[in-house]
Amino acid sequence: MAISRRDAICSISGATLAGLSGVLRPEALRAQAAQALQGQEPWPDRLVERPLRQGFPAPLPLNPDGSAPEHPESAAGPITDPLMWRTPNRQAPEIEFDYRRLAIKIDTRGLGRLAGTLRFEDVEKLPRVTRTFLMQCGAPNPRGIVKWTGVRFSDFADMLGLVPGAHYCRLIASDRHYVDEPMATLRHPQVMLAWMMNDAPIAPRHGAPLRLIVPFRYGNRSIKAITEIVFSTPGLPALPLPA
């Protein structure tokens, strides 16, 4: 049975991620790719029917008002693999993981009273909240119910003294992945900046030292290991790809 170019590439990526950890050299990967693509049909020169990915995206179990259901703390547990990091080895980049030493660039672009480097003593002054939510990716397998501790994003935004005209926010991770969210979403009372996971500091693989939690979105919107937060009025330009 013929497979598509995309499926062939995905199969190579899956093999690479299945524990090879750098054993395959670039020339071996190129040979694998050439072998997988050998004999495949050329890319169609017009739009054609393609089968949809089965079970994707999985429906999120939300309340009628669009918020995320809250779970009892007793239901909290680990997040299952795989974890998505945009790095060659799929591991978290080496940064300062201790939340007590976090240093996050805050750029309010003249739309807030405060800008500069966010330290833990800044967020520590805000009301602390603890919530337990399901973390789910777009695939039909939930990642886990997790107890998060941190502060509401709305309290953080108020601390910065943002003006009503600040409509958008970009949060950038240590692997240069980023999400753009409207402030209306981030000011939802369930959205958090968290540094504790199941009563322990968030582990590096799960997004230390500080992670965004948007429980009514898929898990990739709850960006890990935040290094920069930028506020703006128009849409922000895309970041360059990592080298």
Q: Are residues 112 and 163 in the same domain?
A: yes
Could you tell me if residue 204 is inside a domain?
yes
Cα–Cα distance for residue pair 117/127, rounded to 1 Å: 20
CB 149, CB 194: distance < 8 Å? yes
* Minimum mean pLDDT range among 77-86, 113-122, 176-185: 77-86
Band of pLDDT at residue 10, cut at 50, 70 and 90: very low
Could you tell me if residue 82 is inside a domain?
yes
Say which CATH number the domain at 188 has: 3.90.420.10
Could you tell me if residue 243 is inside a domain?
no
Q: Are residues 14 and 121 in the same domain?
A: no
Q: Are residues 24 and 112 in the same domain?
A: no
Interval 10-24 mean pLDDT:
43
Could you tell me if residue 63 is inside a domain?
no
- pLDDT score, position 8: 46
Domain coverage including residue 107: 73-232
Sheet of 226-232, strands arranged across: 116-118, 104-107, 226-232, 168-173, 178-182
Could you tell me if residue 55 is inside a domain?
no
Q: Are residues 126 and 227 in the same domain?
A: yes
Is pLDDT above 90 for 23? no
Is pLDDT above 60 for 1? no
**Global pTM?**
0.78
Cβ neighbours of 57 (radius 10 Å): 12
Q: Are residues 89 and 33 in the same domain?
A: no
Higher pLDDT, residue 30 or 240: 240
Could you tell me if residue 242 is inside a domain?
no
Q: Are residues 146 and 193 in the same domain?
A: yes
- pLDDT score, position 33: 62
- pLDDT score, position 19: 41
Q: Are residues 178 and 89 in the same domain?
A: yes
Query: If DSSP states are collapsed to H, E and C, what string results for the chain?
Result: CCCCHHHHHHHHHHHHHCCCCCCCCHHHHHHHHHHHHCCCCCCCCCCCCCCCCCCCCCCCCCCCCCCCCCCCHHHCCCCCCCCCCCCCCCCCCCCCCCHHHCCEEEECCCCCCCCEEECHHHHHCCCEEEEEEEEECCCCCEEEEEEEEEEEHHHHHHHHCCCCCCCEEEEEECCCCEEEEEHHHHCCCCCEEEEEECCEECCHHHCCCCEEECCCCCHHHCCCCEEEEEEECCCCCCCCCCC
Domain count along the chain: 2
Q: Are residues 32 and 108 in the same domain?
A: no
Q: Are residues 196 and 125 in the same domain?
A: yes
Could you tell me if residue 59 is inside a domain?
no
Q: Are residues 163 and 116 in the same domain?
A: yes
CB 153, CB 186: distance < 8 Å? yes
Could you tell me if residue 20 is inside a domain?
yes
Q: Are residues 92 and 13 in the same domain?
A: no
